[in-house]
Structure 1
Amino acid sequence: MIGTHAELTSVLRQYNPWWTGTGMPDLPTWQRAAFGELFDWMQAPPVGRALLLAGARQIGKTTLFLQCIDRLLKSGVPPSNILYVTFDHPLLKLHGLDGVIKLWREVEPAADGVEYLFLDEIQATKDWQTWLKHQVDFDKRKRIAVTGSATPLTLQGQESGVGRWHTLQLATLSFFEFLQIKRIGEPPLPEVGSLQSLFDWKPADFQRVGADAVPLVGNFHDYLLRGGFPQCALTESMTLAQKLLREDIVDKVLKRDMTALFGVRRIVELEHTFLYLCLHDGELLDLPQLCSSLGLKRPTVSNFIDLLESTHLIYQLKPYGYGKEVLRGRSKIYLADAAIAPSVLLKGKALLEDGPALGRAVETAFFKHVFTRFYRQSIGFSYWRGKKDVEVDIIADIGGELVPFEVKYRSQHTDARDLKGLARFCQERQVRRGYVVTREMADFGITDLQGTPILKIPAPLACYWLSRGELGGGQ
């Protein structure tokens, strides 16, 4: 055995101080929107599955686990029935899942009732899918939550775990969560359960709320620069915040996770591919051009892109359509957070002076917000590109109703001449309503686009309301 019994026991007790009556480590008083779903699942899973909390590194998965454990302890769960482990620790990783569970029960005998297991970075352990399947199938006393910063669910072992876990996708901090973690006071804005409800507002309502929301603009720009990683958001220095994002998050995924989990050896080529995607965030992926620019073969680049998506650094948005339209169409690439590109490219605050780059960052942020808000409802997302290169940035298919979103974040006024793609899509698909995400608060309101009502909503307000408690219902 690598590591003595005493050493392993000491490590395990360090991660589980509640076994000895020691208080929990200092935890944030605020909670992410995902906390409620995590806690409800651990209390009463709707189906016999484990819960997989998936998301990028350093976005708060461990904090969510510890907050959930704290709530369970306060609700009366015996401390010995709760286990927290992170398999980032080398000794625990080498000891394996069964070894850790056995050690737990040697040092802390089970009490009556349900056992709660919180397993961090489970993808670092051997055959974790098979182990999780057996636990779910044969031990109904356990409730298990696991995390994965790099989740190879679509790679080896997929069949062994299919149907055995429910995935809770955790994105980087939303704009509302960013305001909460930085303790920034909110302006006096009304609660909006869905953006759709804004179509019932009167012109005076838009004018009043737009004026009240002006203080959001500066904070929204700060959010785009610092990003949605809690450690970066709380760092006072903008330069240091972007350095942390670049070196402690992105570099670790590219240089450590890719090698350890996926066996990637061509790290330099992978870094170049990711740098290219940062330069083209929010754009259609031109694989031939990418391959030509980097001197790489198409299968290699395609594999890199799939791996980057698996490690939660990018999203791939497919074209709207069916069959060959989707299979032959190019993907649109969004980075997982709007601050990644300016941090990797060393732009700093210069992003705010670069109109096209700022527009791409806003589109990336908005896509993350609308995707996070609705993905649990099995809503399909795509983009649309018509003839003569007219397009719509994001299409949501909500129960058969198509809802288009176009992002036009620029200082000049947006009128019908700038919305030809949106107008054509609404006419061809008989869309009932659409949205244009703008920059100026003065643009806030309803406009008619060739017979289709369109809500023009400033990006700070759109992201704020989409993430304000992630309220249910409506688009």
Structure 2
Amino acid sequence: MALVSEEQVIKVLQHYNQWWKEPEKIQSLTKPQKRVAYNEAMKFLTHPSIRRFVVLSGARRVGKTTIMFQMIEDLLKQGVAPRNILYITFDNPLVKLISIDDVLNIYESLYPIEGKKYLFFDEVQYTNNWELWMKVLYDSRQDICLTATGSASPIIQKGAADSGAGRWTMLKIPTLSFYEYCELLQLKERPALNSNIHLSELANLTKGEFAELANVFSPLVQHFNRYLLIGGFPELVLSDDDTYAQRLLREDVVDKVIKRDVLTLFNVRNPLLMEKLFLYLCINSSGIFNAQTATKELGNISVTTLENYLEFLEKSNLIYRSNPIDVGSKGALKGRPKIYVADPAIRNAVLMIDNVQSNEREMGIMVETAVFKHFVSFYEGKTAKIGYFRKLKDNQKEVDVVIDQPAGKVLCEVKYRNDSSVLASDAVVTLASDPNSQVTSAFIATKKLTDYGASNHDTQVPVVRIPALILLYLLGKAD
């Protein structure tokens, strides 16, 4: 601690932990709406017999810190003494210069504290050997319960694999689902739904029941369009200036991650190339990624460099990689992923496309991105692989999203356009007709609220048309 005095650290701790003197201060840092991850984290934190630390991992601005403050508020309501709760962010320039041990020693020297101590460490990846310190704290301090966050998920994952087995659980925090977006805004137009409505049951709805379902969702159309533009970042969702929100999205989420986090955490040698690659991925989002083509278009860089930089972006939660999956058919495309930007609004914020909502192709890309993200979030922690299918010798034979589970496969084709018709020869239809494909459900995500119901094709498994707005809302609600 030669560079930082104890007095400086004390001031930082007192600044971040104002509830030590005024417990009501926590209310200004929280939101009343709770996400799924909050409930999961509190289960681990307060479990009466199983002790686990919790690590929340996700991109910048997705609400990890808010979840921690909500947990702190809940602990205070349960009667935990305010001084038994410590919050610190290792993203603070001064705190970066000290260790977890320094923070803990100074904290425990401030006041006499009895009973359990609840530690909340934000952006823990910025402190050296964080996973070793957490291991030591878990093994040697039974009086400590700890929750941490990290923006670079695989760094956190590696630490969890190396030191965290049986000690802490990692919860991934995606951007808000469309359902969570509506809940955060407390929209009056939210539909009152039967709690028993699930995607797997949509094929059993009559035309009249589907019409009623579409009708209750009609007031959400304008909100769905805004969700695609603003994205699932809570602070920006609550903004009343959408243009400024998109600018903040570009500056805070993209620029800071690429120009600071990625460079710092992964020792990137060519920052300009990283920016160019991310722009390239935004332009080609949702398309089949050809590494050889990309290396040429990015200035004849090596494939190894390209793969490394892709890995860094994926680890920083800026992109998703969707790998090909076989669906009971030989000749499926191999080795070429589809790459999605992590939230549809990020792509639009970077490319700054004018009048994007009137551009059918661009809206289709944004909705496909949102659909993929929602399925990833829905199946997080479950035994499932999520990718796509494309037949090797026929590029028209494609299914945008394939969920491969032990019980079978779920297909989802995105047709977010005015004409969403599919042919009997389209992949989603032929695979749903093949008894050897192991398909259990098949969906077509459509644009119009009036475009719903089982398709007219005679298939082994019904192919159900469902408006994308309803699909995403139900996926988020069921998560």
The question of a shared fold, defined as TM-score above 0.5 by the shorter chain, is answered with: yes
1:339 is matched with 345
- Is 1:380–2:385 an aligned residue pair? yes
- Is 1:435–2:439 an aligned residue pair? no
Paired letter, 1:92: V
Measured in 2, the distance between the counterparts of 1:46 and 1:317 equals: 38
**What SS does structure 2 have at the residue aligned with 1:166?**
strand
**What SS does structure 1 have at the residue aligned with 2:225?**
helix
Post-superposition offset of 1:156: 7.1
CA RMSD between the two structures: 2.2
**CA spacing shift, 1:260–1:437, aligned 2, 3 Å:** same
Post-superposition offset of 1:457: 0.5
1:130 is matched with 132
- Is 1:465–2:469 an aligned residue pair? no
1:215-243 deviation line (CA, Å, top 9, x unaligned):
22211111001111122222222221111
2:323 is matched with 318
1:281 and 1:333 in contact (8 A); partners too = yes
Paired residue total = 466
Post-superposition offset of 1:262: 1.2
Post-superposition offset of 1:248: 1.3
Post-superposition offset of 1:416: 2.9
**What SS does structure 2 have at the residue aligned with 1:440?**
coil
**What SS does structure 1 have at the residue aligned with 2:297?**
helix
Post-superposition offset of 1:14: 1.2
1:19 is matched with 20
**CA spacing shift, 1:447–1:31, aligned 2, 3 Å:** same
1:249 is matched with 253
1:121-179 deviation line (CA, Å, top 9, x unaligned):
00000011211222223323322111001234389767632514311110111112212
**CA spacing shift, 1:249–1:167, aligned 2, 3 Å:** same
1:80 and 1:111 in contact (8 A); partners too = no
Alignment of 1:14-413 (within 5 A): 14-25=15-26, 26=28, 27-44=30-47, 47-112=50-115, 114-153=116-155, 160-163=162-165, 164-191=167-194, 192-295=196-299, 296-321=301-326, 328-348=334-354, 350-386=355-391, 387-389=393-395, 390-413=397-420
1:189 and 1:209 in contact (8 A); partners too = no
Return the TM-score normalized by structure 1.
Answer: 0.93
Unaligned residue ranges in structure 2 (runs of 5+): none
1:51-107 deviation line (CA, Å, top 9, x unaligned):
110000011111110110010111011222211110011222212100001011001
Measured in 1, the distance between the counterparts of 2:332 and 2:34 equals: 38
Between the two proteins, what is the percent identity of the paired residues?
Answer: 35
Paired letter, 2:78: S
Measured in 2, the distance between the counterparts of 1:372 and 1:95 equals: 35
Post-superposition offset of 1:355: 1.2
- Is 1:416–2:420 an aligned residue pair? no
Paired letter, 2:25: M
Unaligned residue ranges in structure 1 (runs of 5+): none
**CA spacing shift, 1:326–1:249, aligned 2, 3 Å:** farther
Post-superposition offset of 1:188: 3.4
**CA spacing shift, 1:46–1:250, aligned 2, 3 Å:** farther
Measured in 2, the distance between the counterparts of 1:188 and 1:151 equals: 35
Return the TM-score normalized by structure 2.
Answer: 0.92
Post-superposition offset of 1:359: 0.3
2:9 is matched with 8
Paired letter, 1:201: L
1:87 and 1:121 in contact (8 A); partners too = yes
1:123 and 1:151 in contact (8 A); partners too = no
1:393-450 deviation line (CA, Å, top 9, x unaligned):
1111233311111111001242335x71112322150423311111111111122433
1:345-366 deviation line (CA, Å, top 9, x unaligned):
0115x21121111101001111
Post-superposition offset of 1:367: 1.1
Q: Which runs of structure 1 show a deviation greater than 6 angstroms over 4 or more consecutive aligned residues?
A: 324-327
Measured in 2, the distance between the counterparts of 1:310 and 1:434 equals: 31
**What SS does structure 2 have at the residue aligned with 1:442?**
coil
1:119 and 1:146 in contact (8 A); partners too = yes
Measured in 1, the distance between the counterparts of 2:217 and 2:447 equals: 12
Measured in 2, the distance between the counterparts of 1:183 and 1:259 equals: 38
